């Protein structure tokens, strides 16, 4: 089964954080389905998230979690991507 790099945005108090995950699924539609199930429980202590287009809101819309993109990748490419975004290169 192929791997997919999933980008999720989390917006709270007008500040946006990006989260990247690797999902293994038979196709992009299944990867989106798995990601939506994951996002539904993104904040554990809110038992009643509201579903919105491509995401959920939590704490009466104080936090918005949305699926931003899904891109087919490999585990190796995902590791290289994470290393690149978390490396400070001073050269």
In a domain, 42, yes or no: yes
Residue 90 domain-assigned (yes or no) = no
In a domain, 8, yes or no: yes
CA separation for the pair 21, 10 (Å, rounded): 13
Give me the number of domains the chain comprises: 1
CA neighbours within 13 Å on the CB side: how many for 24?
3
pTM, rounded to two decimals: 0.88
Is 91 part of a structural domain of the chain?
no
Asked if the structure places residue 53 within a domain, the reply is yes
Q: Which domain holds residue 72?
A: 3-85
Whether 67 maps to a domain, the answer reads yes
Q: 42: closest CA among 22, 59, 28?
A: 59
Q: Over the stretch 1-43, which tens digit does the pLDDT of each residue have?
A: 999 999 999 999 999 999 999 999 999 999 999 999 999 999 9
Residue 50 lies in a domain: yes
Q: How far apart are CA 60 and CA 64, in angstroms?
A: 10
Does 19 map to a domain?
Answer: yes
């Amino acid at each position: 089964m192929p791997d997919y790099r999933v980008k999720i945005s989390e917006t709270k108090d007008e500040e946006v954080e990006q989260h990247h995950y690797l999902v293994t699924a038979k196709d992009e539609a299944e990867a989106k389905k798995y990601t939506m199930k994951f996002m539904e429980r993104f904040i554990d202590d809110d038992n009643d998230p509201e579903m919105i287009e491509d995401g959920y809101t939590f704490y009466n819309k104080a936090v918005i979690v949305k699926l931003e993109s899904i891109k087919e990748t490999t585990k190796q490419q995902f590791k290289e991507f994470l290393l690149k975004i978390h490396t400070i290169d001073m050269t």
